C-alpha cells in the first residue's frame, strides 16, 4: 500500500471520531455533525445522464449555515453511500473547493451561486488531484475503521486467516475466505472496467491481497466496479441482454445463470461501445426519448441492495465474463444490438 493509505489512516485515528460499529451511514453523519458543529443535509437528486456519463456521483455545497451533499438518486446504494462519505471526507480534511463553486452552482439555476462557500464534486476521473485522492482514500477507510484496528493487531500466519470472522464479533460480516473469493472473482470485471475510457482506479490493486488489507482492497474493487458500471449505464442495450438470455436458456442454463450471462453480455457490449464509440458520436446516446430516470433497470441487484449483495453480484458477473469476451469492432455482430442511431 502506498504512503497515502498510512497517512490517511493516521489522520482518521487522530481525529478520534465516533464511528458507529457496525457502520451505519446516518449515525455516522450525526456523529460528524456533532464533531464539526455544523448540520449536514443529504439531498438525492436526478443528476441527468450527462453528469452520470462524466463520472460525477456526488457534490458538496457548503453554505454559511449548513453543508449539503447532493447525491445521484439513481446510483446503487453502496455508491451513494460512498459518494456521501467522499464529500464528508472533504469536510473532515478541510478541503477548499472555491474555484468550483460558481461553475457547479451555475448548473442549478435556482441556487444563488454567491451563497456557496465551497463546492466539491466526487468526480471519478480526478484521482490525479491530491485532494480528490485523499478524500477517496478516507471515504474508503471510514466504514472499515473497526476492521483496520483489528488488522493492526499482531497475529500469527496461522490465525491471520480467520481473524476477521473470529475476533470482530460482528454478525453478517463475510469470513476472510469469502472475501478472498469475492476479490478473486470480481477482479476480471474490475480489470475490464478500469481499462475503459473515463473509468479510473485510485491505484492498482494486487492480484493476491495481503489478508490485513483485504477489506480495504475489496472495498476499492467493489466501489470502482460499481462506479464504472454506473457510468456505462447509458450504453446498456436491452436487446443484447435479451439475445444472450435466449441463447443461454436454449443451451439449458439455469435461469439465474442465464440472467448473469445476459447481464455479462450487456456489460461487455457497453464496455466495447465506450471503447469504440460509433463514428459521429462522442458519447452514444441513451435510447431515443428515454429519460435516464427510466433506465433504472439495467443490470445488477435492486439499486437499494447493500454492499454485500452488490459484491456477490459483481463476483457472479466476473465469473461469467470469460464466457463472453469483449467483441472487437469487426466482430460485434454476435453480441451487439442494431447500430445506434
Cα–Cα distances (Å) from 86 to 79, 147, 157, 274, in that order, read 10, 19, 34, 26
Piece of 2-10, 119-127, 161-169, 249-257 that binds Zn ion (CB under 5 A): 119-127
3-state secondary structure 228-263: HHHHCHHHCCHHHHHHHHHHHHHCCCCHHHHHHHHH
Which residues from 131-170 bind Zn ion, rule CB under 5 A? 132, 135
- Which residue number, 120 or 261, has a Cβ lying nearer to Zn ion? 120
CA angle 268/271/277 to nearest 5° reads: 130
CA angle 122/295/108 to nearest 5° reads: 45
- Which residue number, 89 or 267, has a Cβ lying nearer to Zn ion? 89
The least CB distance from residue 42 to Zn ion, in Å, is 16
Q: Is 82 in the site for Zn ion (CB under 5 A)?
A: no
The least CB distance from residue 226 to Zn ion, in Å, is 17
**Total residues binding Zn ion (CB under 5 A):** 4
The least CB distance from residue 95 to Zn ion, in Å, is 8
The DSSP line for 162-184 is THHHHTT--TTPPPHHHHHHHHH
Q: Is 219 in the site for Zn ion (CB under 5 A)?
A: no
The least CB distance from residue 34 to Zn ion, in Å, is 23
- Which residue number, 122 or 292, has a Cβ lying nearer to Zn ion? 122
Which of 122, 179, 236, 245 touches Zn ion (CB under 5 A)? 122
CA–CA dist 2, 205 (Å, integer): 11
Piece of 118-126, 138-146, 228-236, 328-336 that binds Zn ion (CB under 5 A): 118-126
The least CB distance from residue 278 to Zn ion, in Å, is 32
Piece of 13-21, 25-33, 128-136, 161-169 that binds Zn ion (CB under 5 A): 128-136
CB atoms within 10 A of CB 159: 11
Is omega for the bond preceding 22 within 30 degrees of 0, making it cis? Answer: yes
The least CB distance from residue 41 to Zn ion, in Å, is 18
- Which residue number, 12 or 135, has a Cβ lying nearer to Zn ion? 135
Residue owning grid cell 483489528: 150
* Closest alpha carbon to 142 in 24, 38, 261, 317: 24
**82 phi/psi in degrees, rounded to 5:** -65, -40
The least CB distance from residue 123 to Zn ion, in Å, is 7
Piece of 126-134, 228-236, 273-281, 298-306 that binds Zn ion (CB under 5 A): 126-134
- What would the x/- binding string for Zn ion be over residues 258 to 277, using CB under 5 A? --------------------
CB atoms within 10 A of CB 272: 20
Residue owning grid cell 459521429: 280
The least CB distance from residue 86 to Zn ion, in Å, is 6
- Contact between 147 and 219 under an 8 Å Cβ cutoff? The reply is no
Q: Is 95 in the site for Zn ion (CB under 5 A)?
A: no
Piece of 20-28, 45-53, 127-135, 294-302 that binds Zn ion (CB under 5 A): 127-135
Q: Give the CA dihedral 268, 274, 280, 284, nearest 10 degrees.
A: 80
* Closest alpha carbon to 68 in 114, 25, 121, 126: 121
- Which residue number, 118 or 245, has a Cβ lying nearer to Zn ion? 118
The least CB distance from residue 58 to Zn ion, in Å, is 8
- Which residue number, 120 or 271, has a Cβ lying nearer to Zn ion? 120
Residues forming contacts to Zn ion in the complex (CB under 5 A) are 120, 122, 132, 135
Amino acid at each position: 500500500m502506498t504512503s497515502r493509505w498510512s497517512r490517511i489512516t493516521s489522520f482518521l485515528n487522530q481525529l478520534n471520531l465516533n464511528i458507529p460499529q457496525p457502520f451505519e451511514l446516518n449515525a455516522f453523519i450525526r456523529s460528524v455533525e456533532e464533531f464539526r458543529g455544523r448540520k449536514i443535509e443529504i439531498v438525492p437528486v436526478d443528476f441527468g445522464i450527462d453528469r452520470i456519463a462524466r463520472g460525477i456521483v456526488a457534490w458538496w455545497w457548503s453554505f454559511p449555515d449548513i453543508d449539503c451533499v447532493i447525491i445521484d438518486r439513481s446510483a446503487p446504494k453502496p455508491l451513494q453511500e460512498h459518494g456521501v462519505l467522499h464529500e464528508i471526507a472533504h469536510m473532515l480534511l478541510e478541503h477548499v473547493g472555491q474555484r468550483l463553486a460558481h461553475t457547479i452552482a451555475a448548473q442549478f439555476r435556482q441556487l444563488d451561486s454567491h451563497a456557496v462557500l465551497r463546492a466539491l464534486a466526487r468526480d471519478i476521473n480526478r484521482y490525479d488531484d491530491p485532494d480528490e485522492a485523499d478524500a477517496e482514500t478516507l471515504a474508503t477507510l471510514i466504514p472499515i475503521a473497526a476492521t483496520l484496528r483489528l488488522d493492526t493487531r499482531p497475529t500469527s500466519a496461522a490465525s491471520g486467516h480467520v481473524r476477521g470472522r473470529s475476533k470482530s464479533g460482528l454478525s453478517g460480516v463475510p469470513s476472510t475466505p469469502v472475501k478472498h473469493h469475492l476479490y478473486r472473482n470480481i477482479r476480471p470485471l474490475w480489470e475490464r472496467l478500469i481499462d475503459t475510457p473515463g473509468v479510473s482506479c485510485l491505484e492498482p490493486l494486487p492480484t493476491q491481497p495481503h489478508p490485513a488489507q483485504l477489506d480495504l482492497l475489496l472495498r476499492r474493487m467493489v466501489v470502482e466496479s460499481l462506479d464504472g458500471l454506473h457510468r456505462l449505464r447509458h450504453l446498456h442495450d436491452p436487446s443484447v441482454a435479451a439475445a444472450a438470455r435466449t441463447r443461454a436458456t436454449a443451451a439449458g442454463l439455469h435461469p439465474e445463470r442465464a440472467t448473469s450471462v445476459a447481464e455479462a453480455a450487456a456489460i461487455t457490449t457497453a464496455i466495447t461501445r465506450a471503447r469504440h464509440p460509433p463514428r459521429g458520436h462522442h458519447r452514444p446516446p441513451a435510447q431515443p426519448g428515454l429519460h435516464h430516470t427510466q433506465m433504472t433497470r439495467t443490470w445488477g441487484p435492486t439499486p437499494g441492495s447493500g454492499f454485500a449483495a452488490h459484491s456477490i453480484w459483481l463476483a457472479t458477473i466476473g465469473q461469467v465474463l470469460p464466457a463472453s469476451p469483449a467483441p472487437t469492432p469487426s466482430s460485434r455482430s454476435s453480441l451487439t444490438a442494431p447500430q445506434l442511431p
